[in-house]
Amino acid sequence: MQQPPDHAYPRHWEADVVLRDGGTARIRPITPDDAERLVSFYEQVSDESKYYRFFAPYPRLSDRDVHRFTHHDYVDRVGLAATVGGEFIATVRYDRINDRGLPATDPGDDQAEVAFLVQDAHQGRGVASALLEHIAAVARERGIRRFAAEVLPANSKMIKVFTDAGYTQQRTFEDGVVRLEFDLEPTEQSMAVMRGREQRAEARSMQRLLAPGSVAVIGTGRTPGGVGRTALRHVLDSGFTGRVHAVNHAFPEGTDRLDPEGVPAVRSLREIDGPVDLAVIAVPADHVPEVIDDCGEHGVQGVLVLSSGYAEAGTEGRERQRALLRRTRSYGMRLIGPNAFGLINTAPGVRLNASFAPVMPATGRIGLFTQSGAIGIALLSGLHERGPGDGSPAGVSTFVSAGNRADASGNDLLQYWYDDPDTDVAILYLESIGNPRKFTRLARRTAAVKPVVVAKGARHHGTAPLGHTVPTVRIPDSTVAALMRQAGVIRVDTVTELLDAGLLLASQPLPAGARVAVLGNSEALSLLAYDACLTEGLRPRRPRVLPSAATPHDFHTALAEELAREGCDAVVVTAIPWVGAVSYTRLTLPTT
């Protein structure tokens, strides 16, 4: 069939995906310009994988093969490639066929044959599953409703990719080949599979950033006070359990150099033996691209860019930020920042403070995400003032302040916190929501297992702050409030309320139900609490009012009685302080 004139290169099929191990890859349509990439890719595939793809020894691609696999009409013949560093790591292709399995000649034919090839070094990373999701979406867009695939019985990995996808399918075995046919209409199971893969991949990508085994701080000047020097000092002061390297191209040449802080000092990542999991970048924005190249070539898993001079700096900075993201993703790395305040992980096995926060927070059960460094400072300071000491309700599990949020966002942290055993409460300060539908879905899923508390800035002017160049949807604040309410998110208005709600939820178990007792020493104040409970849909009993001179012992006795009563899930205690010789006395109720 001839390519219709309106089907040019479909740029909207391009996408960055997070793989099973937390790395990233770019999926895009294959074009005629990819001939050399395809040949190079095929040369790196094992003979066994080639045999599984073509059912016969196939050591090299002929010129005709290369032409066929790189020329598509993007309607009846489509090829997609997964790339890292601009090179192919996997391909998938479909060809529209008729009911007899022959090339389609009727536009009404709605079946296609699909085949994959994954470079051996990248097998097991979930590349084929990601490609299947994308090629299925492409096929549905082009009117294809069913895929067919022929697989050798020994190719168990590829059979598993198809059978685990969750589509309605049929399997037959004939002439030594397994033939799988499956409908492309999304099912509840296929959607669950896709979202489960997404959650595990994005959570793993955050884990690689938050729990690295080795950190390189790039741009560590030799005098105190600079951004890089400060970041390195904080990493060391936090008691980080992994390896630390100081990197600065201005260090003198030689071997066995030590930074003034006493850590190995190198001029570039190439001089480091062994892997680097996280690179903390603190060089001027103009030098960041070459640093990203060094990181990608060394196999760094993720980068934290503290450097400023990006989208917050105007038009030129916005383009610099877009180029930074493209470059980082091309190497399969995740990015926090740029213009980031940093990240913290208080877990005993990590102890990492890669941020501008001068004091490592106490270890605790609260996860924090902010888009603003200033709000991050306020939250960390407030928690420190309210409960210093590891194990206190005011302690932090993980903290990320993403700055311009070019890549890693609150959605990624929700994916991570969803099944993080160290986090009981998720707190987010958001200035913009790039994808409200995804945020709502993730927030609903996380809020079902642990509380999610959100404060939303920029409520009324409806625009993203400087630096936030990710796509944002302008929706009224009332709609945002409704989405959060439906997702089970606790929305607050101020930083103080974020702290109050987070501390309450971290220290107070959730009530078993909506039955509430109200206890106090003021009838007026108790009635206000009673009305507030009714407004929120709770089931309060009439308030129990103690004498105005009731002592802490009286409160303690009454509280124990209310908690012991049948049909009481929680007690709201209100108290008016005494007025007399002492102007104010803090009421402290002993715990039982």
Q: Note the pLDDT of residue 580.
A: 55
Q: Is the pLDDT of residue 460 over 80?
A: no
Residue 518 structure tokens:
């109200």
Both tokens assigned to 436: 């409200």
Label residue 345 exposed, middle or buried (CB < 10 Å: 0-12, 13-18, 19+).
Answer: buried
Q: Is the pTM of this model over 0.75?
A: yes
Average pLDDT for 311-318: 90
Q: pLDDT band for position 83 (50/70/90)?
A: very high
Tell me what pLDDT residue 251 has: 84
Report the top-level CATH class of 11-186.
alpha beta
DSSP labels, 327-388: HHHHTT-EEE-SS--EEEE--TTT-EEEES-SSPPPEEEEEEEES-HHHHHHHHHHHHHH--
CA–CA gap between residue 155 and residue 147 (Å, rounded): 18
Q: Tell me the average pLDDT across 174-188.
A: 92
So what's the pLDDT on residue 279?
98
Helix axes 288-298, 315-330, angle to 10 degrees: 10
Under a CB-based contact definition with an 8 Å cutoff, are residues 279 and 214 in contact? no
441-444 contacts at long range (C-beta below 8 A, 24 or more positions apart)? 441/195, 441/487, 442/411, 442/414, 442/415, 442/418, 443/414, 443/484, 443/487, 443/488, 443/489, 444/486, 444/487, 444/488
Nearest to 215 by CA among 332, 308, 303: 303
As a whole-number percent, the residues of the chain with pLDDT over 70 amount to: 92
Tell me what pLDDT residue 153 has: 95
pLDDT band for 592, please (50, 70, 90 cuts).
very low
DSSP code of 2?
P
Between the alpha carbon of residue 573 and those of residues 307, 402, 546, the distances in Å are 48, 39, 11
Report pLDDT digits (tens) over 345-392. Answer: 999 999 999 999 999 999 999 999 999 999 999 999 999 888 766 777
- Per-residue pLDDT band at 169 (split at 50, 70, 90): confident
Judge whether 408 and 382 are in contact, CB under 8 Å: no
Single out the residue of 300, 269, 301, 305 nearest to residue 285, CA to CA: 305
For residue 171, pLDDT over 50 is answered with: yes
Query: Phi-psi bin for 219: left (phi > 0), alpha (psi -120 to 50), beta?
Result: left
Residue 341: pLDDT above 70?
yes
Nearest to 92 by CA among 75, 69, 60: 69
Domain boundaries, the chain: 11-186, 206-507, 515-574
- Taking Cα atoms as reference points, which of 305, 231, 304, 293 lies closest to residue 263? 231
Q: What is the pLDDT of residues 131-158, one digit of tens each?
A: 999 999 999 999 999 999 999 999 999 9
Q: Contact 127/118 with Cβ under 8 angstroms?
A: yes
So what's the pLDDT on residue 584? 39
Q: Looking only at Cα atoms, what is the longest distance across the chain?
A: 98
Residues 82 and 131: beta-carbon distance below 8 Å: yes
Tokens in use for 572? Answer: 């709201």
Which pairs count as long-range contacts for 486-490, CB under 8 Å and 24+ apart, including other chains?
Answer: 486/440, 486/444, 487/440, 487/441, 487/443, 487/444, 487/447, 487/452, 488/443, 488/444, 488/447, 488/448, 488/452, 489/443, 489/447, 489/452, 489/453, 489/454, 490/451, 490/452, 490/453, 490/454
pLDDT computed for residue 461 by the predictor: 52
Nearest to 180 by CA among 165, 163, 196: 163
- How does pLDDT run across 197-235, given as a tens digit for each residue? 999 999 999 999 999 999 999 999 877 778 999 999 999
Q: What is the pLDDT of residue 30?
A: 97
Angle between helices 63-70 and 35-43 (to 10 degrees): 120
Q: Per residue in 113-126, is it b (16+ CB within 10 Å) or e — as a string?
A: ebbbbbbeebbebb
Strands 352-355 and 342-345: antiparallel
| 168: pLDDT strictly greater than 90 | no
Report the mean per-residue pLDDT for the chain: 90
**Residue-wise pLDDT tens digits, 406-433:** 999 999 999 999 999 999 999 999 988 8
On whether the CB atoms of residues 166 and 191 are closer than 8 A, the answer is yes
pLDDT band at 259 (very low <50, low <70, confident <90, very high): confident
Q: Which residues pair with 430 in a beta bridge?
A: 456
Q: Quick one: pLDDT at residue 96?
A: 96
Which own/partner contact pairs does 581-587 have at CB distance under 8 Å and 24+ positions apart? Answer: 587/552, 587/555
Phi/psi of residue 519, nearest 5 degrees: -130, 135
317, exposed or middle or buried, with CB in 10 Å at 0-12, 13-18, 19+? buried
Residue 264 CA: distances (Å) to CA of 215, 246, 261, 277: 11, 6, 9, 16
Using only the alpha carbons of the chain, give its radius of gyration. 29
Written as one letter, the residue type at 222 is: R
The tokens describing 310, both together, are 């990006």
* pLDDT bracket for residue 252 (50, 70, 90): confident
Is it the case that residue 469 has pLDDT exceeding 70? no
- C-alpha to C-alpha distances, 544 to 511, 521, 548, nearest whole angstrom: 19, 8, 12
Angle of the 188-210 helix axis to the 410-418 helix axis, nearest 10 = 100
pLDDT at 581 over 50: no
Strands 490-492 and 539-540: unpaired
Let me know if the fold of 11-186 is the same as that of 206-507. Answer: no
- pLDDT of 583 higher than 70: no
- Write down the residue that tokens 């630096």 correspond to: 467
573 vs 253, residue with greater confidence? 573
Q: How far apart are the first and last CA of the chain?
A: 78
Sign of CA dihedral 201, 203, 208, 213: negative
Contact in structure between 440 and 486 (CB atoms under 8 Å):
yes
What is the reported pLDDT for 459? 59
CATH class of the region 515-574:
alpha beta
Query: pLDDT tens across 12-64, in order?
Result: 999 999 999 999 999 999 999 999 999 999 999 999 999 999 999 999 999 99
Among 218, 272, 277, CA closest to 250: 218
CATH number of 206-507: 3.40.50.261
pLDDT recorded at residue 386: 82
* pLDDT surpassing 80 at residue 310: yes
What pLDDT is attached to residue 579?
61
pLDDT band at 473 (very low <50, low <70, confident <90, very high): low
